């Protein structure tokens, strides 16, 4: 029995007063973990601090800090331990207050299951959504939706079903493998450690039965071999071993290994432990490897399977959860730890901020504490890593303030940015060079940005006509046209505008690959997205053209009658009226369409293209 017992690490999260601590207290109590003297102390505490009246206040068991007991809230993660005959459990009770989200993330990082508590009398709250998104981001794939305080709504099945359905809709895109909804009362003990007679309509398991049975095996042993070198063990002249814990995969004596950063190869000579040499070691084991060859390996390096090298890059994109008191500032240097390696890193750009209650991406300039954003980072030295979604241990990092040493962020790597490092792009013989040579032209994206009615499409149309007449192969991408097809699922919120431009950029990139000259006419109001386009394309292939007319001129022109509608309040988020336009600071070209005709502006563009050898 004991030999088969495994471990489930889970967290409880949800909003303040949803009953997280009470639920854990109930589990501990019903599993017999609470000793008599603890129970007696709890009775005394309950009378002094309780928020529950006469009943035993289990929350006081967990809120172990004085500040927590005085304020009646959970500030920091508490870890509790209990076991049943078939499983051991470590539960992290995490704070519900938004200001302590970073502590919640601490608990989530090591958990494989999350219990999201929802107060049945209140339904889903923003904090339930926020915590679900953080759990998803941190790689939790199993969720229990515990709809608590069912006793207060008379164990109403319809209400339970409605909340569960609402949650499933919300969580559909979060990548959870399973979501199990349970109607419970933590205070009364319904459906916690036995099925409640008050919910005859509920056919699922009670909470503890589910926790005992749920299969959360991540099967790290089946992933490629990853061994972050923690320490070089050199007790004497004769022994040189590399100590560490297998992050994933397995390794046997005689297996080939590779140093991820350099590609240097060797074989495992011995797998050394204090209990004798092992023939094989698997993920999670702490061992010391000796190698057949002398290669230069230090703490922070990673040994990997030669057949499955991780990415090695000095730039990457990552989801970043900001935890610092000071906001995250792109351009500032931080210390970065990944595995056992430390380096200096800088956030080169904040692509967007995740609005965690709606899952929308929004343009942003900085991240405040508890914000989540997609960032590009650049490091002083190349790092070896896997995408976090594939390997939690080798895809996560922290950022540390260089001066205060505060842990300011947790990061989950999506992918490397150095194009040559990892892309196994299918290589076709007829490539962009071949195509553009056959057309006798250099591909370029002419990006016309400006207010609605400023003349973007009109000028682009004139430029394209001239290029086409000269035998150039061109294609026009137009914001309105794209929105009728590829982007017809997007609206005009900042988040959708960001996505709209991202798609336009990717399409433009394909057309450039096809050897074409592409003309894009998009309002594209945010600098960050225009910068994203510039970074997306090879240097020199992006020409930012600001089509600049005063807003009054645009309103007077109003070719589509949109300004009139916007001013009447009929169109929300209309650029220039109810949504900002961030004018380019240093555009490649600046066309003042209030002062020049469309033809004159088109000629300015053509002249510039002639200067670049693109137009004749």
Q: Which of 121, 115, 182, 180 minimizes the C-alpha distance to 149? A: 121
- Of 140 and 609, CB closest to other proteins: 140
Q: Rounded CA gap, 411 and 345, in Å?
A: 12
Helix, coil or strand: residue 143: strand
Q: How far is the CB of 300 from other proteins (least distance, A)?
A: 10
Q: Among the options 132, 248, 521, 524, which is catalytic?
A: 524
Q: How far is the CB of 81 from other proteins (least distance, A)?
A: 5
For 376, the enclosing helix (H) or strand (E) is strand 372-385
Q: How far is the CB of 340 from other proteins (least distance, A)?
A: 8
Q: How many CB atoms lie within 10 A of CB 40?
A: 10
Alpha-carbon distance values, 309 to 26, 251, 264, 300, 427 (Å): 46, 15, 12, 16, 20
Q: How many CB atoms lie within 10 A of CB 99?
A: 10
Q: Rounded CA gap, 123 and 169, in Å?
A: 14
Is 524 tagged catalytic?
yes
- Of 258 and 400, CB closest to other proteins: 400
Three-class secondary structure assignment of 478-526: EHHHHHHCCCCCCCCCHHHHHHHHHHHHHHHHHHHHCCCEEEEECCCCC
- Of 279 and 540, CB closest to other proteins: 279
Q: How far is the CB of 135 from other proteins (least distance, A)?
A: 13
- Of 221 and 507, CB closest to other proteins: 221
Q: How far is the CB of 525 from other proteins (least distance, A)?
A: 35
Helix, coil or strand: residue 398: strand
Q: Rounded CA gap, 208 and 35, in Å?
A: 20
- Of 275 and 585, CB closest to other proteins: 275
Q: How far is the CB of 11 from other proteins (least distance, A)?
A: 13
Q: Rounded CA gap, 180 and 214, in Å?
A: 10
* Residue corresponding to tokens 């988020």: 573
- Are 87 and 216 contacting, i.e. CB atoms less than 8 angstroms apart? no
- Of 39 and 468, CB closest to other proteins: 39
Active site residues: 524
């Amino acid at each position: 029995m004991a030999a088969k017992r495994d471990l489930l690490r889970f967290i409880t999260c949800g909003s303040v007063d949803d009953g997280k601590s009470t639920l854990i207290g109930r589990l501990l109590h019903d599993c017999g973990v609470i000793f008599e003297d603890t129970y007696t102390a709890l009775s005394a505490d309950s009378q002094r601090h309780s928020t529950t009246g006469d009943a035993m206040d289990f929350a006081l068991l967990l809120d172990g800090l004085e500040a927590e007991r005085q304020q009646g809230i959970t500030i920091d993660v508490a870890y509790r331990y209990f076991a049943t005959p078939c499983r051991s459990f470590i539960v992290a009770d995490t704070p519900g207050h938004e200001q302590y989200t970073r502590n919640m993330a601490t608990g989530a990082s090591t958990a494989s299951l999350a219990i999201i508590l929802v107060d049945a009398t209140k339904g889903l709250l923003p904090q339930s959504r926020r915590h679900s998104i953080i759990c998803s981001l941190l790689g939790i794939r199993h969720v229990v939706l515990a709809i608590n305080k069912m006793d207060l709504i008379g164990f109403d099945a319809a209400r339970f079903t409605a909340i569960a359905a609402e949650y499933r809709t919300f969580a559909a895109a979060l990548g959870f493998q399973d979501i199990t909804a349970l109607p419970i009362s933590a205070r009364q003990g319904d459906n916690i450690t036995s099925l409640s007679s008050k919910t005859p309509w509920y056919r699922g398991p009670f909470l503890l039965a589910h926790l005992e049975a749920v299969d959360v095996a991540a099967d790290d042993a089946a992933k490629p071999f990853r061994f972050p070198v923690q320490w070089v063990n050199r007790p004497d002249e004769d022994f040189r071993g590399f100590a560490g814990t297998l992050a994933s995969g397995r390794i046997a004596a005689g297996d080939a290994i590779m140093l991820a950063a350099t590609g240097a190869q060797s074989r495992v000579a011995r797998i050394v432990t204090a209990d004798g040499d092992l023939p094989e070691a698997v993920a999670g084991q702490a061992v010391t490897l000796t190698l057949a060859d002398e290669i230069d390996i230090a703490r922070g390096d990673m040994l990997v399977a030669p057949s499955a090298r991780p990415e090695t890059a000095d730039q990457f994109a990552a989801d970043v959860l900001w935890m610092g008191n000071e906001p995250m500032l792109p351009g500032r240097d931080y210390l970065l730890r990944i595995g056992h390696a430390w380096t200096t890193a800088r956030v080169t750009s904040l692509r967007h901020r995740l609005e965690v209650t709606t899952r929308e991406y929004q343009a942003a300039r900085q991240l405040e504490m508890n914000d989540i954003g997609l960032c590009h980072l650049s490091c002083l030295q190349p790092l070896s890593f896997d995408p976090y979604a594939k390997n939690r241990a080798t895809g996560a990092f922290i950022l540390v303030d260089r001066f205060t040493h505060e842990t300011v962020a947790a990061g989950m790597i999506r992918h490397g940015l150095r194009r040559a490092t990892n892309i196994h792009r299918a290589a076709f013989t007829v490539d962009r060079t071949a195509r553009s040579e056959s057309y006798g032209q250099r591909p370029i994206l002419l990006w016309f940005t400006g207010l609605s009615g400023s003349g973007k499409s009109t000028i682009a149309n004139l430029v394209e006509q001239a290029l086409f007449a000269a035998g150039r192969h061109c294609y026009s991408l137009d914001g309105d046209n794209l929105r009728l097809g590829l982007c017809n699922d997007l609206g005009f919120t900042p988040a959708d505008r960001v996505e709209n431009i991202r798609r336009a950029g990717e399409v433009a990139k394909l057309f450039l690959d096809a050897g074409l000259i592409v003309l894009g006419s998009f309002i594209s109001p945010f600098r960050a997205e225009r910068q994203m386009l510039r970074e997306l394309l090879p240097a020199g292939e992006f020409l930012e053209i600001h089509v600049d007319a005063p807003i009054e001129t645009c309103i007077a022109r109003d070719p589509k009658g949109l300004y009139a509608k916007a001013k009447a309040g009929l169109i929300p988020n209309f650029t220039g009226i109810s949504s900002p336009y961030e004018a380019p600071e240093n555009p490649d070209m600046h066309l003042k369409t209030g002062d020049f005709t469309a033809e004159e502006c088109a000629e300015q563009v053509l002249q510039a293209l002639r200067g670049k050898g693109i137009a004749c």
